[in-house]
Amino acid sequence: MRRALVLLVAIVALGAWMGFGAEHPKIGLVLATGGLGDRSFNDQGFWGAERAAEEIAAEYGVSVDDVLDYVEPRSIADYESFYREFSRAGEYAVIIGIGFDHAPILEEVAPDYPDQKFVVIDAVAAVDNVASIVFRDQETAFLCGVVAGMLSETRKGGVLGGMDIPLIRRFVDGFTQGMKWIDAEAEVSVRFVGDWGNPTLGKELSLELYRGNADIIYGAAGASHLGTFAAAEERDGWWAIGTDVDQAWSAPEHADVIIASGLKRVDLAVYTEVMKVIDGTWEAGVIEYGMATDEGIGTGIAFGPWDVSDYIEASYSTVALPNNVVKDILAKLNEAVEGIRDGTIVIETE
Amino acid sequence: MKLLRELGIVGVSVALGLGVGAIITAATGYSVPAVFRELVRGAFGDIYGFANTMTQATPILFTSLSFLIAFRVGLFNIGAEGQLLLGGFFAAWAGFTLNLPPILHVVVCLFFGAAAGAAWGFIPGWLRARRGANEFVTTMMLSYVALYLTSWLVSPGGPYHGHQWANQTARIMSSAELPRLMASGRELPSWGLVVGVLVAVIAWYFLFRTPRGYEIRAVGQSPLAAEYGGVDIARAQILAMVLAGALAGLGGAAEILGTHRRFIEGFSPGYGWDGIAGGLIARAHPIGAVFAALLMGALRAGGRAVDRAGVAPSDLAWVFQGLVILFVVAPELIRYFKRIRLRRRAHGRPEP
């Protein structure tokens, strides 16, 4: 027994000793409950942090694992203890939370560690030492509307929203104005699922929209708009537009109907925020990402076979469009991007 | 002496579990010393490591007590998870709805949690005592009912969806908070731990020093003898299940009031199930449950440290936990099933 005790003490002492001596900046990343491999927010956030960690690691001659520590909480209930563990360690230059549901916890934890820098993605936590990253979703939605306007033969588009809340209204407004920017006579119908995780109802409502003569539907309903993709499979000439990441990649079984996807570049935002901390230009507060912002990046669209710019990326979509049609649409998208960036296109939101 | 022998058995079992875990760690290509370093550091390495252990141990203490009080009457309450969730929800509801002065508010919330859990324990207790329904099935099924019911209550379509997107209720009022013990009220564990230890002592007193507790133990040891002695078996069974439910519900309430301050969908990462292991490790003794819960809490806290430090995937940490539980619990479990089979055969009741 005594020998075991001595061994135990030795192990603890060794552990304490190994904790010292870290001089390079470290990044703490708290992912959302879906965990890595979600082909969405978590993966994107991780890539952004990884890219930043690679640059830091190269500069200090250490490995990426030394720089980046991340945790995958199993439930929202785990968030607080992870934030406190990272904060208490005192060795992280910045602690990043991926996802809106981190905000209430950060509002409780962050004030306890006033010298710790926090970043929360896609939500606002009103604390002095938190940078709250929000995206101009209406810009992304506008680009999606441009694609819809160019492709719709019925001159009618649809939006499947998760819930009737301001966030989703921004998607609807952006999409509608983008479509009308191409075709002033175009119409947009909207349905709300009332749930982010109900693809069955999402499919029913999408079929309603398609049968109401919309031939292209923009999904802004989380997992519920997987039902939109399923509905689009039912007839030729029905198309869908995905959200946040290139969904032709994240839902490859529907790559034959997903013509484009609006992008929320969580990876770029995370990378940029970490680098700001390293450069000493980091600031707390609400920070908007998008084309018409100080950051100048963060929104965009995945469409077509080529990476065109920071805003127009190649898509894994397998929809076969004639080359000249793709080129026309890309030209219009470029025009829209320029317009949004220089302020000649102003997207009205409620 | 008996205590020492039991402790020895538990110690050897833990060592066996860790040993097999080490073999698996090495076989999957991760560093065994690094994993052990983090396991120990996360659970006992410093004051915060131990605080993590105690934080994780608190709800497990309640569910262990819940399990063992039913176990004492000869019933197997595997529904503590549901009783805990339901207790947590009703405590949160009382926490954000009622407007009461500070200390009274906490007491009332705890009472709501215990009452909700008690109701969820009464149903299988009554069904078992009066209708002979197997409590394995009923407690487990009711656990799922509670899980999905509370999940719906805080979902976007439900009536208590507090935050715009996250599936959780509104925050409880500050008067309903169980204060925290460390760093001037910031850091966990909460006073829930103190409540838990107090309840353990009360449970001990109840089981070993009161007539009702004696009846429960008598029925558990030999229902026939208890019946000859004039004990109302059905009443003892129902009482034990109600108390088991109340204890788990109280645990959920303490967790919500002390740790999360709002009901969060699925806030329990399996505390109810850990209670089965905890109760068995404690050999169904309330004071033993305090230490059993600490062991379980240490495994959870150490596992989290392994995850955070990135020395191995979190899944491997859960493997350690599972192995230790398996090795510690298996002998007791086998003994129990042997006994219950004999007994139920003697009574002509259905086997589990």
pLDDT digits (tens, 9 = 90+) for A245-297: 999 999 999 999 999 999 999 999 999 999 999 999 999 999 999 999 999 99
pLDDT of residue A8: 57
Cβ contact, residue pair B259, A78, below 8 Å: no
Domain membership of residue A215 as a residue range: 137-263+320-342
Nearest-neighbour CA in chain B from A76: distance (Å): 7
Residue A112 has its nearest CB partner, among B45, B166, B186, at: B186
pLDDT higher than 70, residue B306: yes
Cβ contact, residue pair A104, B166, below 8 Å: yes
Cβ-based neighbours of B60, under 8 Å, separated by 6 or more: B271, B274, B275, B278, B293, B296, B297, B300
Q: Are residues A165 and A151 in the same domain?
A: yes
Cβ contact, residue pair B260, A77, below 8 Å: yes
pLDDT higher than 70, residue A189: yes
Query: Residue A305 domain-assigned?
Result: no
Number of domains in chain B: 1
Query: Residue B352 domain-assigned?
Result: no
Q: Are residues A141 and A198 in the same domain?
A: yes
pLDDT higher than 80, residue A11: no
B165 vs A contacts (CB less than 8 Å): 100-101, 196
With bands split at pLDDT 50, 70 and 90, how would you rate the model's confidence at A157?
A: very high
pLDDT of residue A343: 93
Give percent of chain A above pLDDT 70. 94
Give the mean model confidence (pLDDT) for residues A193-218.
93
Rg (CA), chain A: 22
Residue numbers of A between 80 and 109 with CB closer than 8 Å to B: 80-82, 84-86, 88, 100-101, 104, 108
Cα angle: B327, vertex A15, A98; to 5 degrees = 85
Give percent of chain B above pLDDT 90. 62
Higher pLDDT, A322 or B330: A322
The answer to pTM > 0.90 is no
pLDDT of residue A194: 83
pLDDT of residue B11: 85
Residue numbers of A between 19 and 58 with CB closer than 8 Å to B: none
Query: Residue A298 domain-assigned?
Result: no
Q: What does pLDDT average to over chain A?
A: 91
CATH number at residue A84: 3.40.50.2300
Q: How many CB pairs under 8 A join A and B?
A: 86
With an 8 Å Cβ cutoff, is B151 touching chain A?
no
pLDDT of residue A78: 85
With bands split at pLDDT 50, 70 and 90, how would you rate the model's confidence at A20?
A: very low
The tally of CA atoms less than 13 A away on the side-chain side of residue A121 is: 29
Size of chain A in residues: 350
Residue A71 has its nearest CB partner, among B156, B268, B307, at: B307
Write the pLDDT tens digit of every residue in B245-297: 999 999 999 999 999 999 998 899 889 999 998 998 888 999 999 999 999 99
Q: Are residues A202 and A333 in the same domain?
A: yes
What does each C-alpha distance from B147 to A44, A69, B81, B140, B158 come to in angstroms?
A: 31, 32, 8, 11, 14
Give the mean model confidence (pLDDT) for residues A78-96.
91
Cα angle: B313, vertex B315, B321; to 5 degrees = 120
Cβ contact, residue pair A77, B266, below 8 Å: yes
pLDDT of residue A21: 46
Query: Residue A32 domain-assigned?
Result: yes
Rounded distance, CA B135 to CA B129, Å?
Answer: 10
DSSP single-letter state for residue B158: S
Domain membership of residue B53 as a residue range: 2-347
pLDDT higher than 70, residue B93: yes
Query: Residue A315 domain-assigned?
Result: no
Q: Are residues A246 and A164 in the same domain?
A: yes
Query: Residue A105 domain-assigned?
Result: yes
Query: Residue B24 domain-assigned?
Result: yes
CATH number at residue B254: 1.10.3470
Q: Are residues A42 and A176 in the same domain?
A: no
Query: Residue A326 domain-assigned?
Result: yes
Q: Are residues A183 and A223 in the same domain?
A: yes
Write the pLDDT tens digit of every residue in B192-222: 999 999 999 999 999 999 999 999 999 999 8
Number of domains in chain A: 2
Cβ contact, residue pair B163, A104, below 8 Å: yes
**Six token digits for residue B206:** 């109840």
pLDDT of residue B100: 94
Q: Are residues A146 and A126 in the same domain?
A: no
